[in-house]
Each structure stands twice: as structure tokens, then as C-alpha cells.
Structure 1
Amino acid sequence: MSDAASRYVMPTGRISAALLGLSNRTVAALTRAGLSLWGSRVLAVRGRKSGEWRTTPVNLLTHDGQRYLVAPRGHTQWVRNLRAAGTGELRLGRRAEAFRAAELPDAEKPAVLRAYLKRWKFEVGVFFDGVDADASDAELLRIAPGYPVFRLAPN
């Protein structure tokens, strides 16, 4: 497996990990209360080993009439669980929307990554190592293996 295909950005240091945890808990709490911040949802997916529901806040992107989840930190646990399960739920307040997920091949990612960076660079830009929405298709294609992207469809 190439480095890009196994890319995972873990928070470094106790302060970074604590800030990420606090941020995730805050966004998740607001989203559970029914307040979406720029499209935030709580992703619920069954654990690939335990079978138990695992949750994490995510940014739901709508682009060209399709809905996507992008993993800015790479091949995280939620990505691995979603690959294994193929289905999950997006939660906002009391509403839970079941979906099927299809992972995009790298060749289809540049336009989605560009749209994601246009919308959320202020939040996730640090995970893109200087690549932003103005990057060329070739540059976005070069980094694509390190950024899993899932197209969502109703279940």
C-alpha cells in the first residue's frame, strides 16, 4: 500500500488532541441538538469488528446535485468502518437519514475535493498541506489517494 493510500493524520501533542476532541464534541453536541454548522452531521456507522454504532461529526458536501463525505484526515476509523459496512446514517437532531455509500475512484475526486476545500478550507485546510481550491486538477489528482471520498445515496 502506498503512503498516500494509507495516509492518516493523527492529532499530535496533547494540546492538539485535546482541541480536536473539544471541537468534535462541541460540533457533535450542536448537531445532535439539531443545529447544523455549515452542513455538519453526525455520521453513525457500524464498527467493522464490534458491529456497534460509532459516531463522529462530519461535513456533508452537496456538489452537482450529489452528496459526499470527504475524509480530510485520510484513512480514519470512520472511513474503514464505512468501507466495511457500505451503509450508515447521517444524524441531525432527532432525524436520522440512512444511506448507502460508494467510494469514489481517485480519478473522480478532483472536482469534489475542490468543492470541499472551497466550502471548508478554514476548518480543514491544515490537513491538505498547502493544497487549496485553486489547485490544478493534476495537483488534486496527485493528492487524491490520501483523501477518501464517498458518494451517498438514499438507502
Structure 2
Amino acid sequence: MTSRTYLKPPWMQRNIGNRLAPVFGRSVVSRLSVRGRRSGQWRTVPVAVLEYEGERYLVSYRGLSDWALNLRAAPDCRLTVRGRTEEITTQEVPESERPALMAAYRKKYGGMPTVSDVLTALPDPADHPVFRIRARD
């Protein structure tokens, strides 16, 4: 088994912050619901959607998270933005395209709690799975 580059969020963020983020940060924080790669059960996590050059992206800023692994296994998912849920599919962005996206993510969301620190600790764009969002047909 290979190790993965991932910075696990602290207990407070996982158990308190992630639950409150969609309530207090509705203009920034969306909810991603993706099927678990082993269980098939829906898992929901808070995410910040990056809009860049007319496209939307999901950035796993902490590295190879469970939700990123789940999207790799099952790219069809749901995204709830400002109370509106849409069925989407995702496509992972090649590593060569990630530097500009990570720079845009840092510029837009670097002021959010923990984001800048995590991106400084994991500076290589290759460590951050990025997924292009598409409407599901």
C-alpha cells in the first residue's frame, strides 16, 4: 500500500468547523456529496468551489482526501451551492494543469482559516487532487 500525501484536519475542524461552515459561510462554502468507494454510502463534506476561466473546480487543498479518493472511484456526485443541489460529474485535472489552479485557489481562499497554512505545508500542486465540474447529462 502506498502512502498518500494528506494533512488531516484537527479534531475541532473535523467535528465542529466542518458542520458549521455551510451555515455561516453559505456564500463561500458548498456541500459535496459523493458515494463512498467501499461502502457506496453518501458522504457529505464542505468544499469551496473555485471558479477559474469560466470553469468550476473542486480542490482537495489538504491533499489526497477521502472525498478525492471517492471521486476517483465514482465521479458522479451532488453539489449543493447556496441551498441549490445539482447533479454533477467530475474529471480529475492532470498535474500539469494544477499550478495555475492552485495559485488561483490560494488567492481566492487563502484567507480562510487553515487554507494558507496547509498550502504552505503542501506546496507541490501535484499533492492536491483537482476536479473539473461538469453538469451531468
- Provide the TM-score with structure 2 as the length reference: 0.88
Point out where structure 1 has 5 or more consecutive residues left out of the alignment. 132-139
Q: Distance in 2 between matches of 1:49 and 1:20?
A: 21
1:23 aligns with 2:17: yes
Over 4 Å off, 4+ runs: none
Q: Give 3-state SS (helix, strand or coil) of 1:60's partner.
A: strand
Q: Distance in 2 between matches of 1:77 and 1:19?
A: 16
Amino acid at match of 1:17: W
Aligned length in residues: 134
Residue 146 (structure 1) shift:
0.6
Q: Which residue of 1 aligns with 2:93?
A: 104
Q: Which residue of 2 aligns with 1:127?
A: 118
Residue 92 (structure 1) shift:
3.3
Residue 68 (structure 1) shift:
0.2
Q: Distance in 2 between matches of 1:51 and 1:2?
A: 23
Q: Distance in 2 between matches of 1:41 and 1:153?
A: 16
> Cα RMSD between the aligned structures?
2.1
- The structure-2 alpha-carbon separation of the partners of 1:105 and 1:2, relative to structure 1 and needing over 3 Å to count, comes to farther
Q: Distance in 1 between matches of 2:106 and 2:5?
A: 18
Q: Give 3-state SS (helix, strand or coil) of 1:8's partner.
A: coil
Q: 2:80 aligns with which of 66, 85, 91?
A: 91
Task: Say if 2:27 and 2:82, in contact at 8 Å, map to a contact too.
Answer: no
Residue 47 (structure 1) shift:
0.7
Residue 93 (structure 1) shift:
5.3
Give deviations 1:15-41, integer Å, cap 9, x for gaps: x3124431111013x17xxx6232x11
- The structure-2 alpha-carbon separation of the partners of 1:67 and 1:117, relative to structure 1 and needing over 3 Å to count, comes to same
Q: Percent identity?
A: 35
Point out where structure 2 has 5 or more consecutive residues left out of the alignment. none
Larger Rg: 1
Residue 147 (structure 1) shift:
0.6
Higher helix share: 1
Q: Which residue of 2 aligns with 1:37?
A: 27
Q: Distance in 2 between matches of 1:107 and 1:98?
A: 27
Amino acid at match of 1:7: T
- The structure-2 alpha-carbon separation of the partners of 1:52 and 1:20, relative to structure 1 and needing over 3 Å to count, comes to closer
Q: Distance in 2 between matches of 1:125 and 1:27?
A: 17
Q: Give 3-state SS (helix, strand or coil) of 1:49's partner.
A: coil
Q: Distance in 1 between matches of 2:94 and 2:64?
A: 14
